[in-house]
A and B are shown apart, each in its own frame.
Chain A
Amino acid sequence: MRAAELITACILALFSGYIMWKAGEPPSWNPSVGRFANVGFIEDEGPGSGFWPFWLAAIMLLSCVWTIANWARRVTPHSRSQAVFLDGYGKKMLVYVGGGIIGFLIAIEVLGFYGAIPAFLVYYMRILGGHSWRLTLTIALMTPVVFFFFFDVAMRIVLPKGYLEPLFIPLYAIFL
């Protein structure tokens, strides 16, 4: 936990520095303006476009330095903790659940929401949760049907269908 606290604070400090750098960027259509010209008070215009994000990122950077100082002085619980950041269960959870969600997103790009939702629910409920096929399939198949009538039909929010689009054309003809 102690190492994770330091590494995270350092990454966030770098990120804050990057935002400060990025906030000072001149607009692409006017490259003659110098970097960081927009982070201060511009005569007759008031604070420039980079003013707000630049100074906020500066505060973010200072707060990261503060966290690192706390770490060095061992004043916070995490800076003293010798416990592991992610134990075996945590790592497995991150791979199975986090990976499952990423897989779900990729499946949406290919199969659309109505193909990806049953696939994700079967993966999670049957493979990770160990629920019966009956319960799994009932929920996995009912959910997209309810969503179709709620979003596509009632709300007129057409969810992406990916390669399954041709299957929905007859349904559009009936309900939309």
Chain B
Amino acid sequence: MDILAALMQGIFIALEPTNLGLALIGVVVGLFVGAMPGLGSVNGVAIFLPFTFVIQQTTGSATSPMIFLAAIYYGAMYGGAISSITLGIPGASTAVATTFDGRPLALKGKADKALVTAALASFIGGTVSVILFTAFAPPLASVALSFGPPEIFALMLLAFATFVGLGSDDIPKTIFSICFGLVLASVGFDQISGEPRLLFFDSTEWFSRGIRFLVLAIGIYGIGEMMWTINATRDKSSMSEVKFSLSRIKAATRQFAEAWRGTAIGSAVGFFVGILPAAGATPGSLMSYGVAKMTSKEPESFGKGNLDGVAAPEAANNSASTGAMLPMMTLGIPGSPTTAVLLAGMVIWGLQPGPLLFTQQPDFVWPLIGSFYISNVIAVIVNLAFIPIFLWMLRMPFTILAPMIFVLSLVGTYAAYQNMYEVWLMVFFGIGAFFLRMLDYPLAPAVLAIVLGPIAEPTLRQSLLFSDGSFSIFFSRPIAGPITIIALVLIALPLLKVLWNKLRAKSADEVVQGQA
């Protein structure tokens, strides 16, 4: 009951006009930053961090600036889905998985349905995770901390295995795409030994920076996919058929129940992955997408416009963003790049994140948790209110929309890294992606791989170091073992299917021959 009383008091403080106003501004800012291709929650939170010192001085408390930044974080999680669905470009890495089904839905003229589903799934994911956060904060953090490198690598393997085992794409091409993304992620300097590697053309100036996620993602989605769409649709404005009205949005809200499975999976998986140190919302959303697909009765409809495919990653990225706050606040370990910036902010405001925060700073903690509830409500209302504006973007002729997306892609890439080398590389990837797309090479696995590569490689190498080079470590540990076995079964699934079909055909032949 103590928790409930503290929470109620926290919510009252979060509802004070100043805090409420800051949450509203934060959500709107976050929504736009998240929707801009190239800018994600981490950019928004980092860019606005200097403004929070003014807020702290004015209000005299560390709670108000934190509420503002957390609201930007939430808003950006909602906003990322907007460009994923309407433009087909993920606004942030956390919304990559939303593109897989959100984009096909928009192309079918169901962008309104996808946006409403994304907003409501985000709201439910956010709310579920805040409730989980409130109730289970300390014990859950200790469970996540017990995850060592073998467990984390096994989870990564599972994420890739879902693409191979359950994808409807050509298997060798899918495997190529995953490995290509992982190789790109390893360009630059080896994180463990510090040795330079894969510096193409021996250019230390260019490739030593590594190849960033957004360069590949914007190249593929902003340039390659756009050129493919122009070629496939022959410049006919395939996106202008979207109709929207209040009644359609209301209808989409009523149909949201169809996506309950994806929402439930996303809320749970997202939260748990979010609390893992160094995981965060991006792997959370990608993994939820994989799990939703794996457990679906119609896995083949994923990637073609399945509502669960929108709901799962969207519920997950909001859920994970709250989950990532958990180790940050209770243990001082950030679960994502954005929470790392938030952690930096807390230290600057004079707070010491860690196990003592809950006992020594209840005046900071509970109003902040209260604001999570409030920001979620504000975000879903603002998001739903803006849907007609986002849909209006789709009604533009393609000869206006396409150059605008090209301009946004180039400017967004520059804004993210402030370097022209990254912009050139992005265009190079884009044109390459166009050719591969023409031959049905799936590109989404490469994007997943470049994001997860920096987590997968060190965890694999650390695990092998623990075990003196033996892969048995992935099978002998109680949590890693079952996950690895499931992943291997998934990878072998296509082969098993072929064998099964051959056996069935053979036995059918024998039956026919026997009858003859």
Which residues of A pack against B, CB within 8 Å? 1, 4-5, 8, 12, 19, 22-23, 25, 27-28, 38, 41, 45-53, 56-57, 59-60, 63-64, 66-67, 70, 76-78, 85-86, 89-90, 93-94, 97-98, 101-102, 104-105, 108-109, 113, 117, 120-121, 124-125, 128-131, 135, 139, 143, 147, 151, 155-157, 159-160
Quick one: given A64-B172, A131-B400, A143-B407, are A89 and B231 in contact (CB under 8 Å)? yes
- The answer to the question of B424 belonging to the interface, with a C-beta cut-off of 8 Å to chain A, is yes
Q: What residue in chain A is nearest B227 (Cβ atoms)? A: A97
Quick one: given A60-B183, A131-B400, are A28 and B172 in contact (CB under 8 Å)? no
CB neighbours (8 Å) of A94 from chain B are 227, 231, 434
B411-433 at interface with A (beta carbon < 8 Å): 411, 414-415, 418, 420, 423-424, 427, 430-431
- The answer to the question of B170 belonging to the interface, with a C-beta cut-off of 8 Å to chain A, is yes
Q: Are the C-beta atoms of A105 and B424 separated by less than 8 Å?
A: yes
How far is it, in angstroms, between the C-alpha of A46 and the C-alpha of B460 when the chains are bound? 10
Q: Are the C-beta atoms of B195 and A27 separated by less than 8 Å?
A: yes
Size of B's binding interface in residues, CB under 8 A = 57
Rounded to whole Å, the gap between the CB of B230 and the closest CB of chain A is: 6
* B179 interface neighbour in A59, A108, A124, Cβ under 8 Å: A59
Show 6 A/B contacts (Cβ-Cβ < 8 Å), sorted by A.
Answer: A46-B461, A46-B465, A48-B193, A49-B193, A125-B403, A155-B415
Rounded to whole Å, the gap between the CB of A107 and the closest CB of chain B is: 11
CB neighbours (8 Å) of A67 from chain B are 170, 172-173, 176
How far is it, in angstroms, between the C-alpha of A103 and the C-alpha of B173 when the chains are bound? 32
Quick one: given A49-B195, A129-B399, A129-B400, are A41 and B418 in contact (CB under 8 Å)? no
- The answer to the question of B402 belonging to the interface, with a C-beta cut-off of 8 Å to chain A, is yes
Quick one: given A8-B436, A52-B457, A159-B411, are A124 and B403 in contact (CB under 8 Å)? yes
- The answer to the question of B21 belonging to the interface, with a C-beta cut-off of 8 Å to chain A, is no
A-B pairs, 5 with minimum CB distance:
A129-B399, A46-B465, A124-B403, A66-B172, A49-B190
CB neighbours (8 Å) of A128 from chain B are 399
CB neighbours (8 Å) of A48 from chain B are 193
* A27 interface neighbour in B196, B403, B423, Cβ under 8 Å: B196
- The answer to the question of B261 belonging to the interface, with a C-beta cut-off of 8 Å to chain A, is no
Q: Are the C-beta atoms of A101 and B223 separated by less than 8 Å?
A: yes
CB neighbours (8 Å) of B418 from chain A are 157
* B183 interface neighbour in A51, A53, A121, Cβ under 8 Å: A53
CB neighbours (8 Å) of B212 from chain A are none
